[in-house]
Every structure is written in structure tokens, then in C-alpha cells.
Amino acid sequence: MKKILIVEDDKDIANLISEALTSQGFKTYLVNSLAQAYSFLIQSLVDLVVLDLILPDGDGIELLKYLRFSSKFSNIPVVIVSARGAELDRVLGLELGADDYVVKPFSLRELVIRIKKILKNKDFPLSQVRVGPLLLDKEKKTIFLEDNPLNLTPTEYKILEVFMENPEKVFSRDELSNHIWALEREYYSRVLDAYICRLRDKLGEYGELIETVRGFGYRLKKPA
């Protein structure tokens, strides 16, 4: 069940939103200030945040910024719900990475539709992804290279999976590590480099599909 955090200081509005979402099968959590939002997020991962901009202890935009610049939370979708409908606000919110911006008064039904749409895009359960000669089959937990299954260890598989879901994107070692191990290492480790080396090996003549971007990290090239 998808978890949604509602950050809204107006009790009535918060309850309305909450009911609308609950009736659609979401689990909701209500907080009414920035401070509460921060502490809630730290201890519990949610799937989406509904964010009011005008809060008793500050501007909701701050929370949006915080989420976007955090490596851990940067991909939690945020829907802004605000009485501030000025173009400047909308543009600012969207540019900072809000996934949608709904101006009050809005219809609950519309809000729910928009939220569903966003979450649907998120976990597009497309079970097969193709990148050049590689084919990722999530059902089978197998990656094929020109129709031959690669013999990968679990971690090797995860790394290549992340790459294939984001072809062309450059991952820093940290970013990649966070995806693979879900925890930050406090010390400097070269495990990842070792894996990249072995992956290239297993990709044989296609080894150079994994490109090192010196000073930044690695990426999976998508052949033209």
C-alpha cells in the first residue's frame, strides 16, 4: 500500500485530502508543520508528499528543496497544494522539482487523479528493458546479452539493472552505492570499481558500454 504524507496546517483541508486518498486505498499520514514533516520523513519512508506552502513554521518550499537535494529522498514525488497561485510560485515550485502544483481551491477528485498518475509513472512495472544488446528481464531476474543469459552475481545484477533503467545517466559512485546497498558508507571503498571491472569482463566485447566518466562516476552507454 502506498504511503502518502500530507503536510498541511489546516485541519479541515488535511482531513478532506486524507479521506479522499484513504478511500482510494492509500495510507495517509498527517503533519501540520515543517518540523513535524522533517522528523516524520527521517524515520519513515513515504511514497509521495502532499505539501502545502504556507505553514506555521515556514515556507513549504524549504521542505521541497531539502528533499530534492537529499540523496536519500530526492526521488520522492512532491505535489504542492497551495493558495498561492501566482505564476512565479508555480514556476518556482515546478522548477525545484515538484511533480505537480495544484492551486486551491481544487477538487479532491482532481488531486487524487493527479497523484495516481504520478505514482503510476514511478513504478512503471515494465518487466523488460532493452538497452543496445542487453535485455533486462525482471521477472526472470536475468539479463541477456544478445539472447544469452549473463551469469551475474546478485550485486552485479543490481548494478547493471540500475544502469539499464537509467541508460546514459551518469552515476557518481555514491549515488550508485546508495542504489545498490541502500546505506551510506562512511569510509572510502573501492568495491564498486571492482564490480565495474568484473561486469565489463562479463560483457566481453561490449564491456565498453559501461563508460567511466572521469571525476564523476560511470554510466551505461546506449548505442545509436
Q: Which of 66, 73, 181, 206 binds DNA (CB under 7 A)?
A: 181
Residue 189 is placed in which grid cell? 571503498
List the interface residues with a copy of itself, window 147-186 (CB under 8 A): 153-155, 157, 166-170
The CB-of-98 to a copy of itself minimum distance in angstroms stands at: 9
Ramachandran region, residue 45 (left: φ > 0; alpha: ψ -120 to 50; beta: rest):
beta
Q: Is 99 near a copy of itself (CB under 8 A)?
A: yes
List the interface residues with DNA, window 128-157 (CB under 7 A): 153-156
List the interface residues with DNA, window 66-95 (CB under 7 A): none
Contact 118, 79 (CB under 8 A): yes
Q: Is 195 near DNA (CB under 7 A)?
A: yes
Q: Which of 42, 45, 54, 91 binds a copy of itself (CB under 8 A)?
A: 91
Query: Cβ atoms within 10 A of the Cβ of 97, count?
Result: 15
Q: What is the largest CA-CA distance in the chain?
A: 62
List the interface residues with a copy of itself, window 70-89 (CB under 8 A): 87
Ramachandran region, residue 8 (left: φ > 0; alpha: ψ -120 to 50; beta: rest):
beta
Q: Is 95 near a copy of itself (CB under 8 A)?
A: yes
Q: Give contact residues for a copy of itself (rule: CB under 8 A).
A: 87, 90-91, 94-95, 99, 107, 109-110, 113-114, 117, 121, 123, 125, 139-141, 153-155, 157, 166-170, 213-216, 219
